[in-house]
Each structure stands twice: as C-alpha cells, then as structure tokens.
Amino acid sequence: MSVEQRPLGRTGADVSVVGLGTWQLGGDWGDVDDDTAAEVLDAALDAGVTLLDTADVYGDGRSEQRIRKALVARAERPFVATKAGRRADPFEAATFTPENLRAWIDRSRRNLGVDTLDLVQLHCPPTAVYADGRVYDTLDGFVADGSIAAYGVSVETVAEGLTALEHPGVQSIQVILNVFRRKPTEELLPAAAKAGVGVLARVPLASGLLSGKYDESTQFPPDDHRTFNRHGEAFDVGETFSGVPFEVGVQAAREVAEIAGDAPTAAFALRWVIDQPGVTSVIPGARTPAQVRGNVAAAALPPLTDTQLADLERLYDERIRAHVHDRW
Ligand SMILES: NC(=O)c1ccc[n+]([C@@H]2O[C@H](COP(=O)([O-])OP(=O)(O)OC[C@H]3O[C@@H](n4cnc5c(N)ncnc54)[C@H](OP(=O)(O)O)[C@@H]3O)[C@@H](O)[C@H]2O)c1
C-alpha cells in the first residue's frame, strides 16, 4: 500500500505522513505482549508506514529491541526516530554531559542493532537544555563521527520549540498537536517551516480520547499512565490526555465524533493534524494491528470541510482552550 511520504526537514529522508508511535510497545499503557507488539509493527510496515518513533526509556529499551527484531526479516528499513535524555539521574540540565549523551546513544545503537541512528531527539529535557550550545556541539560531534545521522528535539512547550529552532543543527521538532492542542499552529509550525525543520506531531489522539470510544466510566489498568499520571504524578500531565481533564475530554470527544460524521473519529482527528501547514508526520501510538490500520486510513481521507474546521475551532474555544492553551 502506498502512503503519502513527505521530506523530514533537511534530513534527506522521506517519511510517511502517518507514522507509528511505539511507547505502547515499551510500557506505561498496560501490558502489550511480545506477539502483539510484533503484530503491531508488522501491521504498520505492511500498511506502508515508513516512520517509527521510539525512545531508550520505553520499557527501558524494550520498545527499541522489539523494533530491531521486527526489522530483521525486512528488506526495507523504515526511518527510526529514537530519543535520549530521560535516563538522566538526577533529571537536571547538569547531567546532559558529553559522557552521558554518548552512553545513552551507544545503548540505543545496540538496542536497535545499527551503527548509525537515523534520528535522536532530546527527550523533553529540563528547559535549560534547549538553550545550551554545549549539548548541540556534542550532538554535532556524534553526527560527524557517524553515530547518528541527525538530531532533533521533543518539547513540552511552544517556547522550548522556538528556543531549539535557534540552533541550526536541529533537524526536527516533536510536539503535542491535536484537535485539543492547537497552540503550536500559531507560532511554532510556521517557524519550523521557515527554518526547514521537520515536525512530528505526537499524542495526536489525546491518549485515545479522540477516538471517541471512552465514556465517563472508562477505567484503565493500574500500570497505564492514564491511571497513574492523570494528575501529573509521574511526568508532565500534558502527556496524558493532552492535559485535558478526562471528563471534559470525553464530552468534547463526543462532539468531535458528531463533527466527523461518517468518518471514523480517530482517522478524522489524525487528518486534521496531517493537514496543519508545517507538519511532516503524525505519530499515533497503537496497541493492536486494527488500531494501526485505522490510523493509516487517515492518509487516504479527504481534507476536512470548512464547516468541520470551524466547528472544531469553536469546540476548542468553548471547552478546551481554558485548560491547556496558556500552559504549554
Ligand atoms: N515526550 C515525548 O517525546 C513523547 C510523549 C508521549 C508520546 N510520545 C510518542 O508519541 C506517540 C503517540 O502518542 P501517545 O501514544 O502518547 O498518544 P496517542 O497516539 O494520542 O494515543 C494512543 C492511544 O490511542 C488509542 N488508539 C490508537 N489508535 C486508535 C484507533 N485507531 N482507534 C481507537 N483507539 C485508538 C490506543 O489506546 P487504547 O488501546 O487504550 O484504546 C492508543 O494506545 C507515542 O507512542 C510515542 O512514540 C512521545
């Protein structure tokens, strides 16, 4: 199957507009066993996905290792974007030393079984790191010695993304962008486009809310961040339901489903992201092959109508904006 491919900034790589996020194949989303993880990866690659997003900390390396196994039998390699930085202990700017960065990146090379990582993203480090020229100098050195082909950043806030764009070696920005998280469209996406920097849109379904399938009584397992990080207990609360209170999100998602009409709500929500100017790819996570296929279908949907776009904007302004807009 062919899925639209777009250039990822100035990296020279083309990637599918729908990628696959693989946090679910590591941990923090309840259990995903080895067989299911392999089926999810195969479903994505068979459907034409050429971009996988992972991190060294997803299951402490399990997501990267599962990707390596899935790719052994494949003639064509997808573009694999990993992340480094959240192994820092203590988690503070001072631990982003050349030695630590070297160790984290070498571990990802072993986990993924490659000499050169396609892309390493700084994994939502402390804010001061985005302005630290020494960190970028270190990463430039890893590009020069062939350990990595390119580097970028994953950010929590628009301001962090704008800071990172001041550093010319940055090739990609990963940011939360979805129907419930519109702020990056105002300044960050235009600035990235102007700089020729790729944008990977994460948490595009607001952790599943934008599938429209949850209700007020939905429960998640204890080892799922939608239980244990609902109020930001373990990491930035914006990573869980995009920072939208669950009941508010459930109600707003019902309206999104109505606006979507005949289109499956998840694919409709992903299409909105794909069509934001400046976006390279959307990287929904998936726990089943059926979810993967449902998400790849977004690449074949028509653009939203003007009425649908206006309805989504009104919904955001009325129900969501007050909870998230000034925070990230
Ligand atoms: N700091 C960072 O850099 C960072 C942080 C977060 C995420 N990420 C990356 O971004 C990726 C995507 O974000 P995310 O996984 O947090 O959130 P997401 O993509 O918004 O939501 C994923 C969840 O939505 C549900 N879902 C997915 N496809 C569906 C479909 N077609 N129909 C119905 N439900 C569907 C599944 O939950 P259920 O199975 O429970 O229904 C799935 O686990 C991650 O996998 C990771 O690679 C990076």
What are the tens digits of pLDDT across the range 200-257? 999 999 999 999 999 999 999 999 999 999 999 999 999 999 999 999 999 999 999 9
* 280 ligand 1 Cβ < 6 A: no
pLDDT digits (tens, 9 = 90+) for 135-189: 999 999 999 999 999 999 999 999 999 999 999 999 999 999 999 999 999 999 9
**What pTM did the predictor assign?**
0.98
Report yes or no on 136 lying in a domain.
Answer: yes
Report yes or no on 4 lying in a domain.
Answer: no
Which amino acid would we find at residue 7? P
Report yes or no on 209 lying in a domain.
Answer: yes
CA distance 89 to 167: 25
pLDDT of residue 246: 98
pLDDT of residue 2: 87
Give the pLDDT mean for 299-315. 98
Tell me the average pLDDT of the chain. Answer: 97
Report yes or no on 121 lying in a domain.
Answer: yes
Write out the DSSP string of 227-268. Answer: HHTTTSSSS-GGGSGGG--HHHHHHHHHHHHHHHTTS-HHHH
Q: From the CA of 205, how far away is ligand 1's center (Å)?
A: 6
* 21 ligand 1 Cβ < 6 A: yes
CA distance 184 to 167: 19
For residue 1, is pLDDT > 70? no
* 203 ligand 1 Cβ < 6 A: yes
Identify the domain containing residue 56 by its residue range.
13-324
Burial class (CB in 10 A: 0-12, 13-18, 19+), 236: middle
CA distance 137 to 115: 20
Give the pLDDT mean for 101-110. 98
Exposure of 137 in the CB half-sphere (CA atoms within 13 A): 6
CA distances from 284 to 22, 174, 296 (A): 9, 12, 9
Q: Whose Cα sits closest to atom 39 in ligand 1?
A: 287
Q: Whose Cα sits closest to atom 48 in ligand 1?
A: 202
pLDDT of residue 245: 97
pLDDT digits (tens, 9 = 90+) for 176-196: 999 999 999 999 999 999 999
Report yes or no on 1 lying in a domain.
Answer: no
Return the closest-CA partner of residue 170 out of 220, 133, 215, 203: 133
Least confident of 24-33, 58-67, 166-175, 261-270: 24-33
Report yes or no on 114 lying in a domain.
Answer: yes
Q: Which two tokens stand for residue 184?
A: 């990056």
Return the closest-CA partner of residue 79 out of 3, 141, 175: 3
Report yes or no on 6 lying in a domain.
Answer: no
Confidence band, pLDDT 50/70/90 cuts, at residue 31 = confident
Please tell me the total count of domains within the chain: 1
CATH label of the domain that carries residue 266: 3.20.20.100
pLDDT digits (tens, 9 = 90+) for 61-102: 999 999 999 999 999 999 999 999 999 999 999 999 999 999
Q: From the CA of 94, how far away is ligand 1's center (Å)?
A: 31
* 239 ligand 1 Cβ < 6 A: yes
| 302 DSSP 8-state letter | P
Q: Which helix (H) or strand (E) holds 173?
A: strand 170-176
Single out the catalytic residue among 58, 130, 151, 316. 58
* 40 ligand 1 Cβ < 6 A: no
| Residues recorded for the chain | 328
Integer-rounded Cα Rg, in Å, for the chain is 18
For residue 104, is pLDDT > 90? yes
Report yes or no on 47 lying in a domain.
Answer: yes
pLDDT of residue 120: 98
136 flagged as catalytic? no
